[in-house]
Amino acid sequence: MRDKPTYLFLFILPFLLASMWGCAATDSTTRLPVAEATFAADEADDGAEALEAEVPVDEITVPEPEVTVVEEMQELETLGAWVPGNPYTPEEASYDFPVTMNKQVEFYLDFFQNKQRDIFTRWLERSTRYLPMIKEELRTAGLPQDLAYLPMIESGYSLTACSTAKAVGPWQFMHSTALDYGLEINRYVDDRRDPEKSTRAAIAFLSDLYDMFGDWQLAVAAYNAGGGTISKGIKNSNATDFWELAQEQYLPSETKRYVPKLIAAIIIAKNPEKYGFTNINYEPPLTYETVEVPALTSLRAVEVACETDLDELRTLNRNLPKLVTPPYQENYELKVPVGQKDLVAENLPRVRQTVTTDYKTHVVDGRENLTKICRLYGINKTTMLKANNLRKSKLTKGQRLRIPYQITNYALLDKDMPLQAAKQAESRMVLHKVKRGETIALIANRYNVTPKLIASWNGLRNINQIKAGQQLALYVTHTSGIVNLVASRSDVKRETVAAANPAYYKVQNGDTLWTIARRFDLTPDQLRQWNNLDSDLIHPGTRLQVSDPEAVGSLSMLLP
């Protein structure tokens, strides 16, 4: 699909659509208390890139009907003139779309049965997931129900289809047309991938095209090429129907093939056995329930809350490309499998988010410097230096650098545990990506630290000089659901903590777990065990236990 028709009454369509749209859920919506389940602020804001990396490749797929377009157009050119043919009215099927039979339709009947047999089989299997809903929407709107097969030749009924022209979803809406017909598109939502909403928008669009041309074959051609292209072609050729127009040079070859391809798809889909399509594994119709969840609720949190997996939730909510509900909608109607809404409503408030930092390794080559590597991974220099316990930015070829990245997980609290309870405090470095409009004071307030500490941790000379997209390293712990300060990076002289036993050592700039273990004649594994460390990350100011908790010794013997 390409462009929209341009005429005066188009501006009233959003209001008409608003009155048409309803909920397609199989049960009533359950509302979740807003205050109890906002999970994904870090995920949606600080971790936007991480979220995008989470989304598998199959979230965006090439429309299957587009794969063979060049081959189709080349073969159609060899068939000769485009003629209307005769109305096709077999006894075994009836049609409410004008179906005719000619060389072009016969070509596609053969093409689907042979060269594209496997692909067409997949379309048939997938079609029954959406056909009941689409046909009911068409019936309600008073349109031919055979138009329900239009998404078959647009996308193969794929919600993830994205064409080379950037048309998206089962009905292959372009961005501008989708907006004109009331679909929401932004970084959090793309309603072109919502089967119900995109279907209603497509029906409104097709209705307008029919009103414009008074002919369903021309309306379908305009759905592909745009109303302006068809109007111009009719004006220049004096054609009265699609087939006359197709004989001229005013239509793109892609649009010429569009109508006979749809007709052939309708014919086979309504009587597949006649054309050799047997033993089709048809998918069951789409069913779901809805539950209202707060803004910025992650689908991964919902997965923990109910008895389903992320793939099924993602399939039901393909219009959420970041797997997070939009931040501007407090009561978002999320689709969940039938029978799960009550479980989600009960458990979602008890789901808690934990953010940990892990590391991957980068080996420095001879042409790289710290600035280039930081730019490659979107990390500031101070964070990179700190993660590798380096004082200077000079690197050597073959040097191995630890690259920090965040991992967000979700856990369900026990039913007998108060909702305010959280996991045992665990210090960690959190990477905060500065958003547009944020100040260091706002960030400090969010993490319950001072601006000076953030500046100290990140080597900022001026606390007012931060910019959108900048990564800030914060050393925090989650205690009782509230982010608290763990330790300051302020430059201090080496000191020990007065304690009879066990003995502690305060980490200094440049220290690593290995150097500290060597200093005290220990192993890194002992330090990890005694200090409950999940990784080798340590930062200046952290107190490390450097003797066996069960041993008795003199602190003075441990001083460096």
Please count the CA atoms within 13 angstroms of the CA of 376 that sit on its side-chain side: 13
- Beta-sheet pairing, 289-293 with 30-31: parallel
Distance from CA of residue 400 to its chain's centroid?
A: 33
Instruction: Find where tokens 């004989």 sit.
Output: 247
Separation in Å, CA 87 to CA 125, 184, 276, 340: 28, 40, 23, 49
Number of C-beta neighbours around residue 66 at 10 A: 19
Active-site choice (154, 289, 292, 303)? 154
274 touches 244 (CB < 8 A) = no
Judge whether 112 and 64 are in contact, CB under 8 Å: no
Burial letters 426-441, b for 16+ CB under 10 A, else e: ebbbbbbbbeeebebe
- 357 forms bridges with which residues in the sheet? 406
For the question of residue 154 being annotated catalytic, the response is yes
What is the sign of the dihedral through the CA atoms of 129, 134, 137 and 138?
negative
Question: Which residues are paired to 292 by β-bridges?
Answer: 31, 333
CA distance 209 to 207: 5
Q: d(Cα 218, Cα 228) in Å, to the nearest integer? A: 12
Q: Would you say 1 and 167 are in contact if contact means Cβ atoms under 8 Å apart?
A: yes
Are the C-beta atoms of residues 346 and 295 closer than 8 Å to each other? Answer: no
Q: Which residue has the tokens 């410097």?
A: 369
List Cβ neighbours of 315 (8 Å cut-off, separation of 6 or more).
Answer: 159
242 near 250, Cβ under 8 Å?
no
Q: What angle do CA 178, 147, 213 make, to 5 degrees?
A: 75
Question: 487 and 541 in contact (C-beta within 8 Å)?
Answer: yes
Report whether 170 contacts 204 (CB < 8 A): no
Helical segments of 165-252, H only: 175-180, 195-213, 216-225, 227-237, 242-247
What token pair was written down for 238?
Answer: 């004096």
Q: Find out whether 299 and 293 touch, Cβ atoms under 8 Å.
A: no
Asked whether the beta carbons of 297 and 40 are under 8 A apart, the reply is yes
- What positions carry a catalytic annotation? 154
